[in-house]
Amino acid sequence: MRIDILTILPRLLDGPFADSIMQRAQTKGICQIHVHNIRDFSVDKHKSVDDYQFGGGAGMVMMAQPIVDAIEHLSQSIQYDEIIYLTPDGVTLNQGFCNQFSLMGNLLLICGHYKGIDQRVRDRYITKEISIGDYVLSGGELAAAVLVDSVVRLIPGVMNDETSALTDSFQDQLLAPPVYTRPAEFNGMKVPDVLTSGNFKAIEEWRMQSALEKTKQRRPDLFDKYNNLAE
């Protein structure tokens, strides 16, 4: 997989991809992550990327020209499966989207700033608009890092144990059950007996029941979706 990211603050993305699973994916050659500075595509001497809103109002708007030139430059040699704009008014990222994106070959992510990007870019070039939650960030870089991490970890070969991702929360519309590790007793608190019983059938039943109870309590919306899918 290849992921290209357009941003006006490329250094914000140095850290998220330099360690742990993201570093491993790149070192193994499973995923390429390329960060591009939108200012490099500005045509004036000041490297301008924003301007005032038509109609007035507080806040600047990212100009169409540098973003479009960057998209078209990259698209000359790369065919993108999705061109994604990270924006608070997009559809909320969920595990289903992450699963879909992980099966694709090339993604282009665009990080907004200020009041966002010129609507004409969104109308003509963007194929998917994604939000990571009902709140506003200073820019799309952190959202892009979240999206990349949630997608790349699903690609076969990235994680040491590929089955681990299959038991994450949301993969089956349920939250993950509680997990424990050694010692079996810590400060008077014991691991549930079933988990040390060696009875794998009973363990799976316990995990399923725990996941159901946890989801019903914390995310009744997901619990209802699970029940509807089960019917």
Domain positions in the chain: 2-152, 169-230
Q: Which CATH class is domain 169-230?
A: mainly alpha
The pLDDT score that the predictor gives to residue 13 is 97
Name, in order, each residue with C-beta under 8 angstroms of 170's C-beta and a sequence gap of 6 or more: 94, 95, 222
| Burial 192-219, CB ≥16 within 10 A → b, else e | eeebeeeeeeeeeebbeebbbebbbeeb
Q: Is the dihedral of CA 57, 60, 61, 66 positive or negative?
A: positive
The pLDDT score that the predictor gives to residue 165 is 67
Q: Of how many residues is the chain composed?
A: 231
C-alpha 156/C-alpha 166 separation (Å) is 11
- 33 contacts 22 by C-beta, under 8 angstroms: yes
The pLDDT score that the predictor gives to residue 9 is 97
pLDDT(199) > 90:
yes
The pLDDT score that the predictor gives to residue 229 is 84
The pLDDT score that the predictor gives to residue 162 is 61
The pLDDT score that the predictor gives to residue 172 is 79
Q: Look up the CATH number of domain 2-152.
A: 3.40.1280.10
C-alpha 90/C-alpha 126 separation (Å) is 11
Tens digits of per-residue pLDDT, 59-81? Answer: 999 999 999 999 999 999 999 99
The pLDDT score that the predictor gives to residue 170 is 72
The conformation of residue 29, written as its DSSP 8-state character, comes to T
End-to-end CA distance of the chain: 36
Tens digits of per-residue pLDDT, 83-119? Answer: 999 999 999 999 999 999 999 999 999 999 999 999 9
The pLDDT score that the predictor gives to residue 169 is 61
Tens digits of per-residue pLDDT, 130-189? Answer: 999 999 999 999 999 999 999 999 999 999 776 666 666 677 789 999 999 999 999 999
Res. 230 pLDDT band, cuts 50 70 90: confident
The label of the residue with tokens 């301008």 reads 48
The conformation of residue 162, written as its DSSP 8-state character, comes to T
The conformation of residue 146, written as its DSSP 8-state character, comes to H
Strands (E), the chain: 2-7, 32-37, 50-52, 60-62, 82-92, 106-111, 128-131, 185-186, 189-190
The pLDDT score that the predictor gives to residue 167 is 63
